Structure 1
Amino acid sequence: MSYKNYPMVSRVVFGRGSFSQLADILAPKRLGINAPFIFLIDDVFEKNVALPSPIPTGYSDKIIFISANEEPKTSQVDALVEDIILTSKELPSGIIGIGGGTVMDMAKAVAIMLTNKGEAKDYQGWDLVKNPAIYHVGIPTISGTGAEVSRTTVLTGPEKKLGINSDFTPFDQVILDPELTKDVPKDQWFYTGMDCFIHCVESLQGTYLNAFSQTYGEKAYDLCCELFLDNTLAPEVMQDKLMMASWHGGMSIAYSQVGVAHAMSYGLGYVLGTKHGIGNCIVFDHLEEFYPEGVKIFKAMKAKHGISLPQGICADLTEEQFDAMINVSLSLVPLWENALGKNWDKIITRSKLRNLYAKM
C-alpha cells in the first residue's frame, strides 16, 4: 500500500499579540529591494476595523485590499497575478494573506499562479500544480474555515466551484493571533464556526476516516461543542479556543475529506454566490438522513445563539439553475465517496439532490 505524503504548514506562531512579530518573520525572507511583499488584506481593515499593528511595508511592497463579500473567483486570481507581474520588477518575495477564508484562499492561489503557467481554472482539481508556489503567509482574522492549514484553495471558476488541491497550496508560515478575531460580527462568527463543526462531523463519519484525521477531528468537534453550547466562557478564552478548533478542524481533513454538506454547498455557491459558511449551514440544516446526531446538535447551537437561516433561497430557480447546482455538486467525487462509500452514486441521484435543494 502507498500512503500519501502530505505537506503541512512548516512554521506557525500562536499567541495573543503575535501579529506584531510579522516584520521580524518576513525580514529574512526578502529576496531584494525589487522583490516586493504583496499583502492581500480583507477590506474590512480599510473601512471600519483597525489592525493591532501597522503592516510592515518597505521598498516596493504593495497592499491590496480584498472584498470578502463574494466567494473568490478564478478570474479574480488571474487579474491579481497579472497586476502583480506588470507592476513588479521581480517576482515577489512573498504573498501575505490577512483575513478570513476568502482572503487566505486568494493568497494561496496567487502564490501558486505566480509560478505556474495558464489560468487559475486550469488547476481546479487534485494535484494538477507542477511548480512550487512562492513563499506565502496566512494570518486568519476569523476562525473556522481551516483555510490557514488546508491544502486547498476553494475558487469559483467559469464551469465549477472547486479547490486547487495540491502539495504546494499550504502556507509556509501561519500567524495565529486570537486578538485579530475580536471584532467579528456574531452571525459571521457563528457561520464560520459551524464550517469547522461541519468539517468535523463529515470527517468523523466519513469512510476515509483514520486515526490521524480522527484525532484532530475529535478535538475540534469537542471544542466546537464547548464553544457553541456553553455560555460561561470568557470572550478571550472563546477566541483562543475557536482559533485552535479551526486549526484542528482543517487538519482533520488532511488525511480525510468533507462530505454531503460541503458538496451541496459548493453547488449553492456556484449558482447563487452563497458564502461558504452560511451555505454549509443552510444545507446541513436539512441533512438529518446523513448526519442525524450532528444536525441535532447543530440545531441546538443555532437555537442557543438565536440564528435564523435564510429560507427559500432555491424557490425561484429554473431547471437550468438546478441542473448547474447538481452538476457542480456531483463533480466532487472524493467528497461523496468519503460520505457514502464507493457506491455513492447509487445512493445520490439527480432527483434526490434536486429534492434536497428544493427544501432550501
Structure 2
Amino acid sequence: MKYKNFPMVPKVVFGRGCFSQLDEILMPKRKSDEAPFIFLVDDVFENDNWILSRIPLLFNDQIIFIPTDEEPKTDQVDALVEKIRQDATQMPSGIIGIGGGTVMDIAKAVSIMLTSQGSSADYQGWDLVKNEAIYHVGIPTISGTGAEVSRTTVLTGPDKKLGINSDYTPFDQVVLDPELTKGVPKDQWFYTGMDCYIHCIESLNGTYLNAFSQSYGEKAQELCDEVFYNGNLTTEEAQDKLMMASWHGGMSIAYSQVGVAHAMSYGLSYLLGTKHGIGNCIVFDHLEGFYPEGVAQFKKMKEKHGIVLPTGLCANLTDADFDTMINVSMGMDPLWENACGKNWKDTITPEKLRSLYEKM
C-alpha cells in the first residue's frame, strides 16, 4: 500500500497580538524593492484602522480588498491574477491573505495561478497543479473553516464547485492571532464554528478514518463542544480555543476527508450561492440518517445559541435546478466514498438527494 505524503504548513505563530510580528516574518522573504507583497484583505476591514494600520506596507506593496458576500469564484481569481501581473514589474514577493475562509482560499489560488498558465478552472481537482506557488501567508480573522491549514482552495467555476487540491496549495506561513476574531457577528461565528464541528463529525465517522485524522478530529470536536456547549469560558478563552479547533479540524480532514454535508452544500452553493458555513449547517440539520449523534449535538448547540436556520431555500426550484445541485453533489466522489464506502452509488441515488434537498 502506498500512503499519501501530504505537505503541512511549515511555519505557524500563535498568540494574542502576534499579528504585530508580521513585519519581521515578511522581511526575510522580500525579494527586492520592486517585488511587492500583495495583501488580499477582507473588505469588511476597509475602514478598520486597527488592522490596516498594522499591515507592514513598504515600497510598492499593495492592499486589495476582497468582497466576501459570495463564495470565491474562478473568474474572480483569474481577474486578480491578471491585475497583479499588470501592476507589478516583477513577480511579487508573496501573497498575504487576511480574512475568513473566502479570503484564505482566494489567497491560495492566486499564489498558485501566478506561476501557472490558463484559468484557475483548469486546476479544479486533485493534483493538477505542476508548478510551485509563490510564497503565501494566511492570517485568519474568523475561526472554523480550516482553510488556513488545508491543501485545498474551494472555488466555484463555470461547470462545478471544486477545490484546487494540491501539494502546492498549503500556506508557507500562518499567523494565528485570536484577537483578530473579536468583531465577528454571532451568527457568522456560529456558522463558521459549525463548519469546524462538521469537519470533525464527517472525518471521525468516515471510512477514511485513521489514527492521524482521528487524533486531530477528536481534539477539535472536544474544543468545539467546550466553546459551543458545555464550557464556561471567557471571551478570550473561547477565541483561543476555537482558533485551535479550526486548526485541528483542518488537520483532521487533511489525511481523511469530509462527507455528506459538504458534498451536498456544494450543490447549494453552486446553484444558489449559499455561503459555505451556513450551507453546511442547513444540510447537516437534516442528516440524522448519516450522523445521528453529531446532528443531535448540533441541534442542542443551535438551540443554546438561539440560532434559527433559513428554510425554504429549495421551495421554488425547478426539476432542472434540482438536477444541477444533485450533479454537483454527486461529482464529489471522494467525499461520498469517505461517508458511505466504495459502493456508495448503490445507496446514494439522485432520488435520495432530491428528497433531502426538498427539506431545505
Q: Do the two structures share a fold, i.e. TM-score over 0.5?
A: yes
| 2:180 aligned residue | 180
Taking a change above 3 Å as real, the CA distance of residues 111 and 60 of structure 1, as seen in their structure-2 partners, is: same
Secondary structure of the equivalent of 2:46?
Answer: helix
CA RMSD, 1 decimal: 0.9
TM-score by length of 2: 0.99
Secondary structure of the equivalent of 1:50?
Answer: helix
Summarize deviations over 1:79-104 as a string: whole Å, max 9, x none: 00000001100100000000000000
Take 2:318 and 2:193, find their aligned partners in 1: how far apart are those partners? 32
Take 1:51 and 1:118, find their aligned partners in 2: how far apart are those partners? 34
1:279 aligns with 2:279: yes
1:257 aligns with 2:257: yes
Secondary structure of the equivalent of 1:3?
Answer: coil
- Any residues of structure 2 matched to 1:280-295 within 5 Å, and which? 280-295=280-295
- Any residues of structure 2 matched to 1:5-20 within 5 Å, and which? 5-20=5-20
Take 1:286 and 1:322, find their aligned partners in 2: how far apart are those partners? 17
| 2:26 aligned residue | 26
1:116 aligns with 2:116: yes
| 2:304 aligned residue | 304
1:214 aligns with 2:222: no
Take 1:2 and 1:173, find their aligned partners in 2: how far apart are those partners? 28
1:67, distance to aligned residue in structure 2 (A)? 1.0
| 1:332 aligned residue | 332
Take 2:109 and 2:294, find their aligned partners in 1: how far apart are those partners? 32
Preserved CA contact (<8 Å) 2:108 2:169:
yes
Take 1:99 and 1:230, find their aligned partners in 2: how far apart are those partners? 28
Preserved CA contact (<8 Å) 1:52 1:180:
no
Take 1:150 and 1:332, find their aligned partners in 2: how far apart are those partners? 17
1:47, distance to aligned residue in structure 2 (A)? 3.6
Unaligned runs of 5+ in 2: none
AA matched with 1:184:
V
| 1:158 aligned residue | 158
| 2:341 aligned residue | 341
Preserved CA contact (<8 Å) 1:145 1:250:
yes
Secondary structure of the equivalent of 2:13?
Answer: strand
Secondary structure of the equivalent of 1:97?
Answer: strand
1:276, distance to aligned residue in structure 2 (A)? 0.1
AA matched with 2:326:
I
1:52, distance to aligned residue in structure 2 (A)? 7.5
Take 2:356 and 2:134, find their aligned partners in 1: how far apart are those partners? 41
AA matched with 1:260:
V
Taking a change above 3 Å as real, the CA distance of residues 20 and 48 of structure 1, as seen in their structure-2 partners, is: closer
- Any residues of structure 2 matched to 1:78-117 within 5 Å, and which? 78-117=78-117
Secondary structure of the equivalent of 1:316?
Answer: coil
1:35 aligns with 2:35: yes
Take 2:135 and 2:156, find their aligned partners in 1: how far apart are those partners? 24
Secondary structure of the equivalent of 2:84?
Answer: helix
Preserved CA contact (<8 Å) 2:45 2:52:
no
1:176, distance to aligned residue in structure 2 (A)? 0.2
Preserved CA contact (<8 Å) 1:19 1:53:
no
| 1:315 aligned residue | 315
Secondary structure of the equivalent of 1:12?
Answer: strand
Take 1:230 and 1:45, find their aligned partners in 2: how far apart are those partners? 32
Secondary structure of the equivalent of 1:131?
Answer: coil
Take 2:96 and 2:155, find their aligned partners in 1: how far apart are those partners? 18
AA matched with 1:3:
Y
Take 1:30 and 1:320, find their aligned partners in 2: how far apart are those partners? 51
Take 1:311 and 1:121, find their aligned partners in 2: how far apart are those partners? 31
Secondary structure of the equivalent of 1:228?
Answer: helix
| 1:76 aligned residue | 76
AA matched with 1:107:
A
1:320, distance to aligned residue in structure 2 (A)? 1.1
Take 1:49 and 1:103, find their aligned partners in 2: how far apart are those partners? 19
| 2:139 aligned residue | 139
Preserved CA contact (<8 Å) 1:37 1:96:
yes
Q: Provide runs of 4+ in structure 1 moved above 6 Å.
A: none
Take 2:146 and 2:97, find their aligned partners in 1: how far apart are those partners? 14
1:230, distance to aligned residue in structure 2 (A)? 2.7
Secondary structure of the equivalent of 1:253?
Answer: helix
Take 2:113 and 2:52, find their aligned partners in 1: how far apart are those partners? 30
Take 1:49 and 1:209, find their aligned partners in 2: how far apart are those partners? 44
Summarize deviations over 1:274-318 as a string: whole Å, max 9, x none: 000000000000000000000000000000000000001000111
Preserved CA contact (<8 Å) 2:227 2:238:
yes
Preserved CA contact (<8 Å) 2:43 2:68:
yes
- Between the aligned residues of both structures, percent identity stands at 74
TM-score by length of 1: 0.99
AA matched with 2:6:
Y
1:247, distance to aligned residue in structure 2 (A)? 0.1
Preserved CA contact (<8 Å) 2:107 2:136:
yes
| 1:197 aligned residue | 197
The aligned length equals 360
AA matched with 2:284:
F
AA matched with 1:137:
V
Unaligned runs of 5+ in 1: none
Secondary structure of the equivalent of 2:40?
Answer: strand
| 2:269 aligned residue | 269
1:68, distance to aligned residue in structure 2 (A)? 1.0
1:50, distance to aligned residue in structure 2 (A)? 3.4
Preserved CA contact (<8 Å) 1:20 1:53:
no
